[in-house]
Amino acid sequence: MTMTDVNKTVSNADSSVTLGQKVPVTTRLNAPEFVTNRALLRWISDIVVLTKPENIHWCDGSDAEWTALTAELVTGGVLIPLNSELRPGSFLARSDPDDVARVEDRTFICSVNEADAGPTNNWRDPDSMNAELKVLFDGSMRGRTLYVVPFSMGPFGGPISQVGIQITDSPYAVLNMRIMTRMGFDALAQIDDKTPWVPAVHSVGQPLVDESGLRIADSAWPSNSTKYICHFPETREIWSYGSGYGGNALLSKKCFALRIGSYMGLQEGWLAEHMLILKLTSPEGKAYHVAAAFPSACGKTNLAMLRPTVPGWKAETIGDDIAWLRPDADGRLRAINPEAGFFGVAPGTGEITNPVAMSTVWGNTIFTNVALTDDNDVWWEGMTEKTPSHLIDWRGEDWTPDSGRPAAHPNSRFTVPIQQCPTLADDWFESAGVPLDAIIFGGRRATNVPLVAEAFSWQHGVFIGATVSSEKTAAAEGTVGELRRDPFAMLPFCGYNMADYWGHWLALGEKMGANAPKIFQVNWFRKDDDGSFMWPGFGENSRVLEWIARRVDDEAHATIGAVGLVPSQGSLNVEGLDLNDEVLGKLFEVNEKLWLDECDLTEEFFDQFGDRLPSELTTELADLRGRLSA
């Protein structure tokens, strides 16, 4: 299409179109007057021609737009308004039972060269994938509204921030994007003719039909075989088809913020990480900023919303899931949370486990696939000590404690604005980010990994991050158990070859030198011979964070161990805890045989990366074996 054609297609009409207003898409895009980026307009025009929507709506991010969209979805039965006295401004949504989670086997990295995707990603040739997507998206929005969703990841105009445009036919996705990003015309205004932006296209798709135009069996849609979550690193494009679930439909999140973001960081000298960001303030009033990467089910959100038990210490939340890290002019690694909301897992979140999260979801929240109470509120497993006697479960069916099935889906979610978090730090608003003092890696390990250890160096810290794992099975029998590898908690989210990713970390560390944050490893989940957790966890984890902060200032003593620097006797504050010397010793015990067995597993894991594996990691593995043998 020529630029003359685009100018004929695009009309800078008044953008105050009401929802549902029919726009003749073949004659105009209804673009706001201030949109001048011709590449953006051409791209949207091409998507309109391909997907053939009935209407077009440019999302301005206003309260009026929110009200109109939610009212439309309530009328259509997509959203259920909750009790306004118990949960004001909140709604319940139920997804298709076959569309409740990320689909890793249908998530693709479409790099030009297969080796650039690496052995841990699903690779597809970009040309062949584009051909498949063109067929799927042809007419995929027919009869529906195409929403243009401009958004900023991070504060507007910040040095670490990025902007994107998502096109979607899902109003549910639009509402969630409004919560999770800085969405609307303020974000759109950031894009001038020189501004790079990430294009993202999402469609829930159309039912598959045969040659006669008749619909194929319902089981064919939506099925995993027709779901595509595709990333094109070199062109920074995202295409998602056939799923309305958050992680597959909110393309700002894992798709942009991590998969495309990590590749952008490789090209531009920064990092996109699956990390929380926490601000700690000591009794003396000194602030420390910590980023931490944990795989799923390892307490990341709980740590992000920590309530310290150590007197005088204060913890504030900056982010619970994603961190973008960039060295500043002075060589300090600065971090922002690029998101504006929480997309949290509901089950297991309760007043005992995470009271801050429960205070956050008081209202203005979209709940997905949780249960509905008789008084029109929400409930999920772990929310309260007492289970209600009757609920409507996540499928919309009657439920009692004797039903023999969960009331809420195990991956049910809440989407809530971050500014409702009572422990939100003012630093979340800092456009330049916060200077990191420490980086923490952790997994769920019943054996081997000590409660806390400090890396000997940045290079050793990268080795620790590269070997993060959790046990698939209980290790009470004294064996290492089968390990689920999740390096840097990024295994499903790194948008390029993981070996190159480790090399990128090593290079940035060399660039920062002495200014680089210290790196630590933690393990809240070590068990005794009876299979019971030895460390109390939750708020008591602040004791470990206190030691880490004191190590940043070289105030806490440490002893050289085989796997890192561990607290010297008496340097970890355990006053008031029911931990005798024997239990404390087991929390830091290093079993030579089990660790040497794990080294063999690590070598096997590294071997799949071939000659792209940084030699520094091979060196660290050899050094670990040497320390264990000594």
Residue of 577, 487, 569 lying closest to 541 (CA atoms): 577
Average pLDDT over residues 334-363: 96
DSSP 524: T
Fold of 341-420: Phosphoenolpyruvate Carboxykinase; domain 2 (2.170.8)
For residue 208, the model assigns a pLDDT of 53
φ/ψ (deg, to 5) at 62:
-80, 165
Dihedral (CA of 533, 386, 414, 248) sign? positive
What whole-number distance in Å separates Cα of residue 379 and Cα of residue 514?
A: 49
Q: Mapped to the 3 state alphabet, what secondary structure does 570-608 carry?
A: CCCCCCCCCCCHHHHHHHCCCCHHHHHHHHHHHHHHHHC
For residue 25, the model assigns a pLDDT of 43
Query: Could you state, in order of their start, the residue ranges of all structural domains in the chain?
Result: 3-78+102-269, 272-339+430-629, 341-420
What whole-number distance in Å separates Cα of residue 280 and Cα of residue 287?
A: 6
In the beta sheet, which residues pair with residue 541?
A: none
Fold of 3-78+102-269: Phosphoenolpyruvate Carboxykinase; domain 1 (3.40.449)
Strand 271-273 and strand 276-281: pairing?
A: unpaired
Residue of 153, 252, 248 lying closest to 203 (CA atoms): 248
pLDDT band at residue 100 under the 50/70/90 scheme: confident
pLDDT tens digits, 286-331: 999 999 999 987 889 999 999 999 999 999 999 999 999 999 999 9
pLDDT tens digits, 187-211: 999 999 889 999 999 999 876 544 5
Average pLDDT over residues 21-43: 76
Terminal Cα-to-Cα distance of the chain (whole angstroms): 69
For the record, the structure tokens of 270 come out as 């920064």
What whole-number distance in Å separates Cα of residue 459 and Cα of residue 438?
A: 14
| Binding-site residue positions for GTP | 297-302, 413, 444, 538-541
Lowest mean pLDDT among 61-75, 98-112, 166-180, 554-568: 98-112
Nearest-5° Cα angle at 548, 545 to 550: 110
In the beta sheet, which residues pair with residue 520?
A: 440, 454
Alpha-carbon 289 to chain mean position = 19
φ/ψ (deg, to 5) at 580:
-80, 175
For residue 332, the model assigns a pLDDT of 97
DSSP 418: G
What whole-number distance in Å separates Cα of residue 526 and Cα of residue 535?
A: 7
Known catalytic residues? 298
For the record, the structure tokens of 537 come out as 């966890």
What dotted CATH number matches 272-339+430-629?
A: 3.90.228.20
| Binding-site residue positions for substrate | 102, 245-247, 296, 411-413
pLDDT band at residue 225 under the 50/70/90 scheme: low
For residue 2, the model assigns a pLDDT of 29
What whole-number distance in Å separates Cα of residue 382 and Cα of residue 374?
A: 18
507 vs 222, residue with greater confidence: 507
**Cβ–Cβ < 8 Å for 468, 441:** yes
Strand 107-109 and strand 228-232: pairing?
A: parallel
Average pLDDT over residues 515-535: 95
Residue 364 has pLDDT above 90, yes or no: yes
Average pLDDT over residues 497-508: 98
For residue 19, the model assigns a pLDDT of 46
Q: Mapped to the 3 state alphabet, what secondary structure does 256-286 carry?
A: HHHHHHHHHHHHHCCEEECCEEEEEECCCCC
What whole-number distance in Å separates Cα of residue 294 and Cα of residue 470?
A: 10
Sheet holding 398-399, edge to edge: 378-379, 371-372, 391-392, 398-399
φ/ψ (deg, to 5) at 605:
-65, -45
**Cβ–Cβ < 8 Å for 558, 571:** yes
Residue 450 has pLDDT above 70, yes or no: yes
| Binding-site residue positions for Mn(2+) | 254, 274, 321
Please tell me whether the peptide bond between 155 and the residue prior to it is cis, using omega within 30 degrees of 0.
no
**Cβ–Cβ < 8 Å for 379, 393:** no
Burial of 402 from C-beta contacts in 10 A (0-12 / 13-18 / 19+):
exposed
Residue by residue, DSSP assigns 102-153 as --GGGEEE--SSHHHH-TTS-B--HHHHHHHHHHHHTTTTTTSEEEEEEEEE
For residue 29, the model assigns a pLDDT of 87
What whole-number distance in Å separates Cα of residue 501 and Cα of residue 259?
A: 12
Identify the residue whose tokens are 């003719």.
193
Strand 198-203 and strand 237-241: pairing?
A: parallel
For residue 98, the model assigns a pLDDT of 85
120 vs 3, residue with greater confidence: 120
**Cβ–Cβ < 8 Å for 376, 83:** yes
CA torsion 472-476-481-485 (nearest 10°) is: 50
pLDDT band at residue 9 under the 50/70/90 scheme: very low
Dihedral (CA of 367, 372, 377, 380) sign? negative
| Binding-site residue positions | 102, 245-247, 254, 274, 296-302, 321, 411-413, 444, 538-541
Residue of 325, 369, 350 lying closest to 79 (CA atoms): 369
218 vs 249, residue with greater confidence: 249
Say if 3-78+102-269 and 341-420 have the same CATH topology.
Answer: no
pLDDT tens digits, 585-623: 999 999 999 999 999 999 999 999 999 999 999 999 999
Residue 14 has pLDDT above 80, yes or no: no
User: CA dist 90 to 79, 247, 341, 565, Å?
Assistant: 9, 20, 15, 47
Dihedral (CA of 550, 552, 558, 563) sign? positive
